[in-house]
Amino acid sequence: MVEDCCGTNGNIMILACSGGSNVGQLSNQAAAELTQEGFGKMFCLAGVGGHLTGFVQSAKDVPQMVALDGCDIGCAKAILEHAEVPVKSYLVLTGLGIEKNKDFRLKRQDIDKVKEAIRKTCVEPQNLQVSFGSGSECCCG
Amino acid sequence: MVNICVLFIAILHRSSTPLLHFFERRKIMEIKVLGPGCPRCEATKKNVEEAVTESGLSANITKVTDTMEIAKHGVFGTPAVVVDGEVKSVGKIPTKDEIKSWIQK
């Protein structure tokens, strides 16, 4: 989490929802793989949700960040808004045409699709809340 | 005799509250500067020290360089500043004015 040299080293903070569905886990998996590849660094959304000052202040102060929600329920975005963290970039996975379900056998092509979308979102930082497809069923919890 | 005791306790209670307030005001602020050691975190510590001096306040200022100790604060980068257990700044050098706004309550 902390580098040897001071600063955030230009890392893009990735905050993924990690919810109880395929798209929740896709966002988590994509975030983990991008971190391993050196594109950004996954950070603790739960810490922000718990209002732990280190996590909240880090999310507020980081120059670049992207929030990932699996579906349009928007839990990650809600957590950030509740903690008064500005959402600099945002992506909802169901908007990429991935259908939300309870199948946790993640498809490689979906993971790669999400990663590519995250890279594009960060290159062109804007609120990329793509039009919502399926996924109105709440399966959290 | 009982009345004297009650009166004594009442006087003690009335005088203890201002005493408590006096000791609370005298409580020393704890400021930590988190960073492994480089010009940026040294600059941060310098700003903290000067801000405290210029504010006329008392504070224990500690530099935390151990990576595991820094990680316990949940910060994304360094330097970071913690005031009385609350993280105030992460990954940047705060200005003296910013620091003063945190320590002057």
Domain definitions of chain B by residue range? 28-103
User: A6 Cβ partners below 8 Å, 6+ apart?
Assistant: B35, B36, B38, B39, B40, B41, B77, B78, B79
Active site residue B5: no
Task: State whether CATH 3.30.499.10 applies to domain B28-103.
Answer: no
Q: Could you tell me the pTM of the whole model?
A: 0.80
Query: In the prediction, which pLDDT does A14 show?
Result: 97
Please give the average per-residue pLDDT across B72-77, as a whole number. 96
Find the closest chain B residue to A50 by CA distance.
B74
pLDDT above 80 (res A24)? yes
- pLDDT-derived band at B54 (thresholds 50, 70, 90) equals very high
Of the two residues A119 and B6, the one the predictor is more confident about is: A119
By CB atoms closer than 10 A (0-12, 13-18, 19+), residue A2 is buried
Using a CB–CB cutoff of 8 Å, tell me whether B79 touches chain A.
yes
pLDDT above 90 (res A41)? yes
Interface touch A6/B41, C-beta < 8 Å = yes
pLDDT above 50 (res B43)? yes
Please give the average per-residue pLDDT across B59-68, as a whole number. 96
Contact residues, chain A, for B71 at CB < 8 Å: 1-2
Helix (H/G/I), strand (E/B), else coil: A110: helix
Task: Give the integer Cα–Cα distance in Å for A32 and A27.
Answer: 9
- pLDDT-derived band at A128 (thresholds 50, 70, 90) equals very low
Q: What letter represents residue B47's amino acid?
A: N
